[in-house]
Every structure is written in C-alpha cells, then in structure tokens.
Structure 1
Amino acid sequence: MSALEIENIRKTYGTVETLKGIDISLESGEFLVLLGSSGCGKSTLLNIIAGLAEASGGDIRIGGRSILGVHPKDRDIAMVFQSYALYPNLSVHRNIGFGLEMRKVPAAERERAVLETAKLLQIENLLDRKPGQLSGGQRQRVAIGRALVRKPQVFLFDEPLSNLDAKLRMETRTELKRLHQMLGTTIVYVTHDQIEAMTLATRIAVMRNGRIEQLGTPEEVYDHPATLYVAGFVGSPPMNVLDGVVTGEGLRLDGSGQIIALPARLNGAALPGRRVKIGVRPEALRLAAGETGQPALEVEIEVVELTGPELVVTGRVSGQRVTACLPPRTKLTVGMKQVFSFDEDALHLFDAETELALG
C-alpha cells in the first residue's frame, strides 16, 4: 500500500484552474520534491495535502485512507513552514513538545520524545532558549523537531530553507538528507531550487502551469528530460538550446549552416525537414582534440569566468548563445573561435512545436 496517493487532484479559483489533474503515488520512505517556478501550483498542492486548502476534484489517500474533508490535525501529517511558525513566548523545549501537549500525551512520554528529538537534531543545549535568541538555522531545526517528534506518516516541507543564507542552506540541506536516511520518513518537499531537488529527492515532480511535466528520479530528470522546459529548468548553468532543422546530412543550425552529426538513436524520430531544438549540457562540452565522427560546435568566445572549480565559457554560434563548463586551467581568450565536441549520448532533441523530447 502506498504511503501517499494523489489522484487527479484539481483546484480552481473561479475560472482559473490552478491544478489540472495531478497524479502521484508515493511509497513509504520516499522523498518527493515538488519543483517548479513561482505560480506553478506546487504550494497549492502541498496545502491541499495538509488540509489548508480544499481540492476542487480528485482524492488524496494516506495509508489507504482518504483524507479529503478530514481536519488537518487528524490527517497524520506534520508540516514545516518557510517562516518557522514558532511560538515566540515558549521555550525551544515547549515549542517542540507543544503538539504532544495538545494531544494530552503523558508528561514523562512527552519529555522523553522531546529529548530524543533534540539529541537527533543536536540542539540539546538550546532547549531552555526562546526563538528570539536563536539563529535562523537553529530556528529551522526547532521547526523540524516539532514535526519529527509527532512521528506522523507523512512530513510536508514548504520551502523550509529559503530564509537561510547560502552556507546555512547547504548545512541544513545536508542535515535533512542525513535525517531522512536515518529515519526513513516519507516526505513531500516544495522548492523552486533545483539544487535542493537534485540533492534531496528520491523522486522529483517538475511542475509547470498546474501540471506535472515530468516525474522521475533526479538522474532520470537530469539525464533524460521529457520536455524542453524540464531540460532548461533543471541544471546550473542551464542546458544549451539551439534552433535548427533536420536535414539528410544531420542537424543544421539556424543562421550558420553548421551541421551537427545526428546520433543513430534519433534517426527514426528526426525526419528531414522537422524543426527542432538541439540541447546539450554545458558540462558535456569539451575542447575538440582531433576527434572524428563526434558532434561538434564552432563557438566564438565572448566571456570567460573562473569560478574556482571550473571555467565557465560563454560564446556564440551564429547569434545563438552557448555555455561550456571546462577545467579551471583551460587557456581560452575572448574573441577566439574554438571547436567544442561532445558525446552522442549528450545530445538531446526536442520538437520545436510541441517541445517534447524526441527519441
């Protein structure tokens, strides 16, 4: 039995349809990330699961039991908010144990649960403090602790790291990963940050305009994007996308006449005359070193940026922008023309009209 089943969930506000039929089945112990830009519907879906908003259609089941119409406190879920939502006048100890206190859990059992949770999150020394005496990272740990102590079937996280600085985000992200691996909890996590999605999720649901564009493991979403939107949204720097057309010789780029060899695996899907979007990730590009038969691009270099671990190079292929991520000691200068090659497997092809992946 699935831990969480989302079946054809819809949500409308007047004539505006925010969710257009969402279907997800989540097994126990999975970490699902709802990923997408602002307004895609991910937070609306999370609020419907939590009981903070009503669905206009469909069903949601936890442990086989429908929870639509069930009061939030009776859904066997716990939610961690972006704003922490801690009680400022209560100590960390009481904030963590407040839910248990409201459920009339005996004091001795409540004390044991709070101490175990505080130890797990390494905040035992903060139990007597008030939220106002804590840093942002510490407050987030307390908010997570308040959810963990209840041991619900499903945990919901609504962009919990967005208020933290870059260093704390990375540290807390690592902590969340450790906790999930240790406890095997079932989590639904909302974010617009694709790094969080790639590092935390067992599966990612990439959302756009109230629909799921792709649902899969981080590897599947990154290596085999189902649509042009997914290809451009997941990855930093984003995938290079070039306009072109299929010919008998291969893929001809707009504006330059450059021909890219067409991989054999795409022969059946890419018929001559078809308008296409040609995708290749920046890290797949390398300086051509006399290879023959490999796809290649001749790029005029415009910008060279050393980030430390890599050299990010931006250039043009007849007016179309291309980015490459190269080893940091690579010698390149602005204005030079350089041929970049890449493996056939790194080439992605999308129909220019439907934006669906080909092959």
Structure 2
Amino acid sequence: MSALEIRNIHKRYGEVETLKGIDIALDSGEFLVLLGSSGCGKSTLLNIIAGLAEPSGGDILIGERSVLGVHPKDRDIAMVFQSYALYPNMSVARNIGFGLEMRKVPPAEREKAVRETAKLLQIENLLERKPSQLSGGQRQRVAIGRALVRNPQVFLFDEPLSNLDAKLRMEMRTELKRLHQMLKTTIVYVTHDQIEAMTLATRIAVMREGRIEQLGTPEEIYDRPETLYVAGFVGSPPMNILDAEVTGRGLKLDGCEEILPLPASFKSAAAGRPVKVGIRPEVLRLAADSPGPRLMARVEVVELTGPELVTTAIVGKQRIIASLPPRTALSMGSTHAFTFDEASLHLFDPGSGRSLRAA
C-alpha cells in the first residue's frame, strides 16, 4: 500500500505550466526530498499535496484515498513551515497541543501527548515559555512537535531549516534523521540544499522546470546521474563537465592531446560523436607514480577549506576542479598530472543531456 501517490499532477497559471506531469509513489516510512533550484515547482507540488493549492490535472492519494477537494485539515497530514508559524501569545505546550485542542481531544490525553512529544524532541524544560523566549533551533523543534503530536499519515516540510545558521542546520538535520529512524514516519521534504537532500532522504526527486529530472536513492542520484542537469546540480564542488569527442582510440578532450580510455559502460558510443565528459572533483588525484589515465593541468587557484584543498586547474582550454588532501603541495601556475579511475567517468549526449551509460 502506498502511503502517498502523486499521479500525473499538472499545474497551470493561465498559459504558464509550472508542473508538467509529476508521478511519484511513496511507501509507508519513506523520506522523499523534493530537490531543485528556486522556481522548479517543488513548493507548488508540496502545497498541492497539503491541499493549499489545487492541481490543474492529476490526482493525489493518501493511504489509497483520493484527497482532491478534501480540506487540508481532513487529509491526515501535518506541515512544518519555513517560518515556524507559531502563535506568539501561546506557551510552547499550548502551541504543540493546539491542533489537538481544536479536535476536542480531552485535556488529560492532550497533556500526555504534548509531554511525550516534548520529551522526544528534548524540549521538556521549555513547555512554559513563549516563542519569543526561544532560539531559532528551539522554535523549529516546537514547530516539528506540533506536527508530530497529531501522528498523521504524512508529514510535509517546506524548507524548514533555511532560516537557521550553518551549525544549527547541521544539528537539526541530525535531529530529523534521528526522529525519522525512530518513528518510521512518511515525510515529503522540500529544499534547495543538496546536503540536506543527501543526508536525510531515502529517495530524492530532482526537479527542473516543473518536471522530475531523476528520482532515486541518494546513492543513485550521486553515482549514476541520468542527465547533465543532475550531474551538475548534485555535488559540492559540482561535477566537472568537459567537451570531448569519441575517437577510435578513446576520448579526446577539446584542446588536449591526451586520449582518455572509454569506460566499458559506454562502449556503444560511436566514434566521431561529440560528448560531454563528467568527472567528480573528489576522484581526481595527483598522478605521481599512480597507474591510470593522466591529464596534464596547470594550477590556477588553490583554496584550503580545512578538510580539503579545492584546486582549479586548466586542461587544454577547459577548467577542472579537484578536491585534494589538505596538505597537498601545490602552487599557482605549476603544472601537474592528474589521474583517476576510468570507471568513475560519466558520458552525456550534448543535445539531449541524457547519460550514455548502457542500461
């Protein structure tokens, strides 16, 4: 049984189509992240699931029941907003339990549920405070508690961590991961932050211009991107995308004399065909005496981030980025040979943007 099924959802605003046929089926307990840049349609899709917007076509099923036309409060969902949306004049305890109060849950049962939820979120000592007396992370915990206490079939999160600083975002990611592993709840989570997507999701839907570019596990999205867009969007630093041509001897990068081997998974690519070659920065390493294919590159910029040395270099007429160990001895303007495992290469069709990997 699917906890949530999104069937061929379209959304139009006049002549503008913002969702162009979205299909996703979620099993109970899955954590789906809708990932994409601003304007890709992810928040519109979340609002349609929540009942805050109606689709122009398609259907939404929660627990195999169509909820089109059903009021948001009757959909058995709970939503956590970016802005927390707490009642400033109410205590934390009443904010958490207000939904139960509106549903006429008896006071004793309501108080028990609030205290159990507060314990789960480690905010028992905050129950008598007002939202103005809380930090950003504490307010987000209260907003999550208000959703959890209702025990709905599906939880919806709309960029809930975007207002927090980097340290708090990391802490709250860990907290959300812990809660999901404990409660096995079904979650749909919207973000433009790929780190949130990769760390939280059981599946990621990468969205672009109202369509799903790729749907898969974090490992599938990262290791086997199906399109140039996914390859370039997911990863920090992003995947290097280089212009090349398939020759009888292998891959010839534009502006380079070196011939790279053609990986076995792309042997069907015909000689003379232009391609885009993708190389993740972290697979590149200084060749030294290491075996494997080599690229001669002139170092242009070196940036120490702490855990890695992010190096920008010129290969022929194209730039590449390499993520190297922090104590690597490099200087700007020097030339080095970089190597990599040929199986880590990705090939894409320049016209369609689709991966050329054999099925």
TM bucket (normalised to shorter chain) is over 0.9
Q: Partner of 2:273 in structure 1?
A: 274
Letter in structure 1 aligned against 2:259: I
Letter in 2 for 1:287: L
Specify which of 296, 318, 322 is matched with residue 298 of structure 1: 296
Q: Which moved more, 1:253-262 or 1:144-153?
A: 253-262
* Distance in 2 of aligned mates of 1:266 and 1:256: 21
Q: TM-score, normalised by structure 2?
A: 0.98
Q: Tell me how far 1:291 sits from its aligned partner.
A: 4.0
Residue 303 of structure 1 deviates from its aligned partner by 1.0
- CA displacement 1:79-101 (0-9 Å, x = unmatched): 00000000011110100000000
Partner of 1:19: 19
CA distance, structure 2, for counterparts of residue 169 and residue 310 of structure 1: 21
How many residues are paired up?
357
Specify the alignment match of 1:243 in structure 2.
Answer: 243
Match of 1:346 in 2: 344
The root-mean-square deviation of aligned C-alpha atoms, in Å, is 0.8
Q: Which residue of 2 aligns with 1:321?
A: 319
TM (norm. structure 1) is 0.98
Residue deviations 1:28-63, cap 9 Å, x none? 000000000000000000000000000000001011
Number of the residue aligned with 2:181: 181
Structure 2 letter corresponding to 1:324: A
Q: CA deviation at 1:356?
A: 0.3
State the one-letter code of the partner of 1:213: E
Pairing of 1:149-298 with structure 2 (within 5 A): 149-268=149-268, 270-292=269-291, 294-298=292-296
- For structure 1, the residue ranges without an aligned partner over 5 or more in a row are none
Residue 140 (structure 1) aligns with: 140
- The answer to whether structure 1 residue 357 and structure 2 residue 355 are counterparts is yes
The counterpart of 1:312, out of the listed 300, 310, 322, is 310
3-state DSSP of counterpart to 1:316: strand
Unaligned runs of 5+ in 2: none
Deviation at 1:256, TM superposition (A): 2.5
CA offsets 1:172-224 (integer angstroms, 9 cap, x no match): 01000000000000000000000000000000000000000000000000000
Matched, 1:45 2:45: yes
Higher mean alpha-carbon deviation, 311-320 vs 128-137, is at 311-320
1:334 matched residue in structure 2: 332
Shift of 1:70: 0.3
What percentage of residue pairs aligned between the two structures are identical? 78
Q: How does 1:31-70 map to 2 (within 5 A)?
A: 31-70=31-70
Residue 275 of structure 1 and its aligned partner are, at CA, apart by 1.2
Q: Work out the CA distance in 2 between the residues paired with 1:244 and 1:168.
A: 43
Counterpart of 1:317, as a letter, is: V
Partners of 1:42 and 1:297 in 2: how far apart?
Answer: 39
The answer as to 2:103 corresponding to 1:92 is no
Note the C-alpha offset of 1:309. Answer: 1.2
Name the aligned partner's letter for residue 18 of structure 1: T
Q: Following the alignment from structure 2 to structure 1, what is the Cα–Cα distance between the partners of residues 288 and 5?
A: 51
Specify the code of the residue in structure 1 equivalent to 2:28.
S
Distance 1:82 1:197 in 2: 16
User: In 1, distance between residues paired with 2:189 and 2:74?
Assistant: 20
Query: For residue 5 of structure 2, what is the aligned residue in structure 1?
Result: 5
Aligned-partner SS, 2:169: helix
Q: By how many angstroms is 1:259 displaced? A: 1.7
Matches of 1:204 and 1:296, distance apart in 2? 34
How many Å separate the matches in 1 of 2:280 and 2:92? 46
Q: Distance in 1 between matches of 2:313 and 2:329?
A: 15
Give the C-alpha shift of residue 289 in structure 1.
Answer: 2.9
Distance 1:352 1:231 in 2: 13
Residue type of the alignment partner of 1:301: V
